[in-house]
Structure 1
């Protein structure tokens, strides 16, 4: 049991280092004037052509927003750890910095890892999944297949959630998703904001009487992050974001009620 906990500590540290490294890389892209970014003021959401000005000899000055007269993005001077903490607090400014003003590109990897975490959580809750007393290969392969099955179900439910969100947003504000770029950008934002699912693994490994409550709180945190990502990306009201997330969750629950016999 001690070895398992030590391995999980290493896994959590590794994931944290990977996210921090990607944020550092994004900061370097900012400092090099990444040409593909559409900068936004983190305070008022107005567009900006630059985040800073280089006055040579290493002298940099943060650009002031013409609309709100505040720094366009104060987070370019912050350490990535502070940015992550602010993102966990669901601050709009931190979300705008990450989504609009950085070149972070870990959406696919993060999505796969979150699905693996969710699949492992469900697999651990299956009867006899953590029992290894029977060395027979057929038993071991059956348990392995159960894990793959849970991964597939988690992927389908995630797709159902995203479908519900996009349907509501398209019906409510069709002009906001008029191009493929905006569709892909919102998809990436939703995948990034689901990072809270990484907390599922520690919650299951360190199992105690409050584990079911912890799992529900993690789900609530992920949904809150998704709501904030929709607000920031599309600049829509909080009510519409909540409705979109609620409909996505409803569609996910409907799909999860299906009895899979594979």
Structure 2
């Protein structure tokens, strides 16, 4: 469980810049669609949290850390619990994209959520941005099954990512590459600030890796922009300034 840092503390690395870039992509696509069809550009973002992580519409990472920059871009954030029924792809014509921010790998109704997300990604209309954890590796309170692994890998594949769903405690992590425009904003990112190492990698040439880590010969692409959204993992989204407490 993550620790909230307060509604008025500022982000020091990454989040606002990553969201800005992702939204810029969707804005560009929206303008192209407007020229082609003369339809209004959707402004709503569907933001997902998990009730099992003790999150609510007003107590979650997106509300606390991402809503302000999204609002500044002219976007409207609507919240929903990912463990409950979600709108079908056909019912989401008013939305610009989907933003998730989960902390743990377990979820109530995990298979239902994975099937929903698979349909969204397969339809290809809405960008999906995952922040933190993918969030539905396994059913809440149960061990991960072979079926879980297959379905999660299918979702990552649709995003141009690959993973064996493994996580390690970070030890001797090396930063192979970081985009300084994103990760040296006000505070430099150093490898000793990375707590966990995830077995997630980009596999498409048209993806844009913003942060690449390695540990014991294993590669971890920790922040990735993709044509259909993006992914940025726990531990490299924001950081507190230890001196100022902000």
* TM above 0.5: no
Q: Report the TM-score, using the length of structure 2 for normalisation.
A: 0.26
Q: Report the TM-score, using the length of structure 1 for normalisation.
A: 0.24
Higher helix share: 1
Q: Which has the larger radius of gyration?
A: 1
Higher strand share: 2
